Structure 1
């Protein structure tokens, strides 16, 4: 009896403790009902989180919480809360949640996913010191040339537009960063990058590996018994071969006097001043390649999907660009100031299908209080960009692609709201606070040039099947992932006039002079391809 009583009391204590795991602590924002141990894990979505997160936001409000076992997640679908907690209090919310897989592959040096630390601050400081608005202007010629080749490639192979978009995005950012371009999608560096990046996206996707960050003991499983560890090891080798290979090439080019003004040339020259060792420089370049290749390509695919699905918007955009540019030349960045509807198309594409429907999550470094709610230290914070941009309280008919909303108001919101522009600024999708994208100026130039060129050059319409029936496009059929774009779709792409087709050919040929500065170290197949395509355009 004397033994049984302590055991019973101990069992009661353990059961009571376990029963509390998963419950929502006092002071947290409201959220879906929890169950013991699991919290909300039993109702947590497996993919496309933004849809379920938005559904819950409409029920529980712009700030609510979830419990995943003992861990707390706070979802922000209120732009005022985002501004206050992520921007104004960025010193307390600039961390990232622990991600063992990213640590295993990159040693914690992937700038987007890295924890808030001295090394991250050095990476961030270097990016901001060199990717300035003024410095971004010197990269416009190669960005324009790559956008011109995109038109040329689509003109000759419209059905391969997905592949052409990915080549252009990767080659453009590679030229900016490392002074080295890819004339073909099959160029070794581009093919190797996308092969590696596909695996990297898969291995870092939620649910792709065991819950290592929740159950840390899993990290000690030997590699031979854990396939995910084997994939991580191979991905690390592939990344290092690519990123440090690019860095070595850039260093050799500097030494041989063949500089072309690329970003990493400056980083290497200022390495000591910026406090960057070789490891940090290699992974900084890698993070920027990944961001620049992926998001720009996904954005342009969403643009084309929207133009096919909403032909009236396409027609209005073409009428404006024709009025400003005329018939005998291609548009320039300077023209954009006189094209409010084109600018609205650019912003509406971001809103309609944000490339990151959920921004990369933040982690609270300290307890914070907001409107009576506790945002606890260590919690994960998601910014639900999809939910904000599709809020019917903010936007008229949010599920419709309607560029006119950005002609009516700065933020595209309902006119009567008169929201402060800083709350939902046009570049909101590039991030908030200390984790905002440092390459925003380079990215915006690339997007602006490509959007103008594509709308100026082509008509985008529905394709027909074998029986001649139109094949409708599904604007909700998107790939799984935190950063996402449309699943492959069919459409008909035709040049808007014979004169425009001729201009594309002549502009592509003239771009050869710009390209030549970045065609360093091309292999025999690429050289033959370059000679062949330029010879064809000259005829």
Structure 2
């Protein structure tokens, strides 16, 4: 649904000017919209009592309806769950392909956490290399071209006038893969970000954009509100994975038991609606059983 050209009206905008009955996508879009709203309202009706405790009680006086609040509440879940799942798949792919990065992160985790317990959220801050691994992942912007926003008034910036209504897109690809700023920019090199110890939202709030770690969470007024839980949760997930497992490329009898090469090219990822690794296999070896040579192969 989010792919370019899914609706014919996106390809030929003049079709949207027709009366509703001959518009080719109207029937399907209406059906999809009704189903999505049903899901949102079902969630909202279950969470209404808890959610209204953290929002203004006079929402109707502010021009909001319960459908609006259902979209707000549902958006918090949609935006966080799908992107975190995609990032989890991506990091497993990168770790399987980059054993040196994995070894450095695992060594840091072992030094800070030890073998007696699993990492907790309080352990995340003292793990700068793990933190840096998450920064590298965030450069692979989940919505590949970021999220479009629409201006509600004419905007003038440095003499250039952008009229009301057109979509404004942050060109994250050009910013985050600039070879002058990041030599060998497509390589998975967490050490680039060892100096970035703050949350993305903190950098986004700075007047100077140069120190920013990345633009994955947006720019300007509409920066994603979930920057802190997103990064913290991903770092905790990564720490727990590497505390327990060593991730390896898949093995195959046709290769004499040797690991297969891991594809990290653009062909290894779906581009829409999220930049997520396509199905792949990886070997998980429990660190406590490394001496036994036991490996479990999992499909993602």
**2:58 is aligned with 1:272:** yes
Deviation of 1:217 (Å): 4.3
Q: Are residues 349 and 395 of structure 1, via their aligned partners in 2, closer, same or farther at CA, if it must alter by over 3 Å?
A: same
Q: Supply the distance in 2 between the matched residues of 1:449 and 1:220 (Cα, whole angstroms).
A: 52
Deviation track 1:463-513 (CA, whole Å, cap 9, x = no partner) reads: 0234245332221221131532111111112222159xxxxxxxxxxxxxx
User: Closer, same or farther in 2 for the Cα pair 1:452/1:387, shift >3 Å?
Assistant: same
Superimposed CA distance per residue, residues 100-123 of structure 1 (whole angstroms, 9 cap, x where no aligned partner): xxxxxxxxxxxxxxxxxxxxxxxx
CA distance in 2, matches of 1:369, 1:406: 30
Structure 2 residues not aligned, in runs of 5+: 199-205, 291-300
1:12-51 to 2 correspondence within 5 Å? none
Matched, 1:235 2:24: no
Does residue 386 (structure 1) correspond to residue 173 (structure 2)? The answer is: yes
Are the aligned partners of 1:301 and 1:486 in contact in 2 as well (CA < 8 Å)? Answer: yes
Q: Offset at 1:356?
A: 2.7
Structure number, greater radius of gyration: 1
Partner residue in 2 for 1:467: 254
- Residue 443 of structure 1: how far off its partner (Å): 2.3
Give the RMSD, CA atoms, in angstroms.
2.8
Aligned to 2:184: 397
1:313 CA drift (Å): 0.3
Partner of 2:154: 366
Post-superposition Cα deviations, 1:308-329, rounded to whole Å, max 9, x if no partner, equal 1111000000000000001101
**Residue in structure 2 matched with residue 22 of structure 1 by the alignment:** none
1:205 matched to 2:7: no
Partner of 1:480: 271
- Does the 8 A contact of 1:356 with 1:385 survive in 2? no
Q: State the partner residue of 2:135.
A: 347
Query: Is the 8 Å Cα contact of residues 341 and 404 (structure 1) preserved in structure 2?
Result: yes
SS in 1 for 2:284: strand
Contact 2:95 2:102 in 1 (8 A): yes
- 1-side partners of 2:82 and 2:121: how far apart? 22
Alignment of 1:148-187 (within 5 A): none
What corresponds to 1:248 in structure 2? 45
Off by >6 Å, runs of 4+ in structure 1 = none
Deviation of 1:342 (Å): 1.0
Asked if the contact 1:306–1:401 (Cα under 8 Å) also holds between the matched residues in 2, the reply is yes
Tell me the secondary structure at the aligned position of residue 247 of structure 2.
strand
Counterpart in the other structure of 1:491: 282
Residue 429 of structure 1: which of 205, 216, 221 is its match? 216
Distance in 1 between residues matched to 2:19 and 2:261, nearest whole Å: 50
Matched residue, 2:13? 214
- Distance in 1 (alpha carbons) for counterparts of 2:5 and 2:270: 16
Give the counterpart of 2:113 among 325, 337, 343. 325
In structure 1, C-alpha distance between the alignment counterparts of 2:132 and 2:208, rounded to whole Å: 15
**Taking structure 1 as the reference length, what is the TM-score of the superposition?**
0.47
Gaps of 5+ in 1: 1-201, 255-261, 412-418, 500-539
Matches within 5 A, 1:441-452: 441-452=228-239
1:316 to 2:104 alignment: yes
Number of residues paired by the alignment? 275
- Offset at residue 230 of structure 1 (A): 2.7
Q: How far apart, CA to CA, are the structure 1 residues paired with 2:80 and 2:126?
A: 27
Which of 235, 245, 249 in structure 2 is aligned with 1:458? 245
The secondary structure found in structure 1 opposite 2:275 is coil
Of 87, 94, 102, the match for 1:299:
87
Counterpart secondary structure, 1:493: strand
Give the whole-Å Cα distance in 1 for the aligned partners of 2:120 and 2:148: 36
In the alignment, the residues of structure 1 paired with residue 245 and residue 181 of structure 2 have an alpha-carbon distance, to the nearest angstrom, of 33
- CA distance in structure 2 between the aligned counterparts of 1:312 and 1:435, rounded to whole angstroms: 37
CA 1:330/1:487 → structure 2, altered by over 3 Å: closer, same or farther? same
SS class of match (1:307): helix
Distance in structure 2 (CA, Å) of the matches to 1:383 and 1:480: 17
In the alignment, which residue of structure 1 is the partner of 2:295? none
CA gap of 1:245–1:217, structure 2 versus 1, over 3 A, is closer
Q: CA deviation at 1:392?
A: 0.6
Q: CA deviation at 1:330?
A: 1.0
Deviation at 1:278, TM superposition (A): 1.2
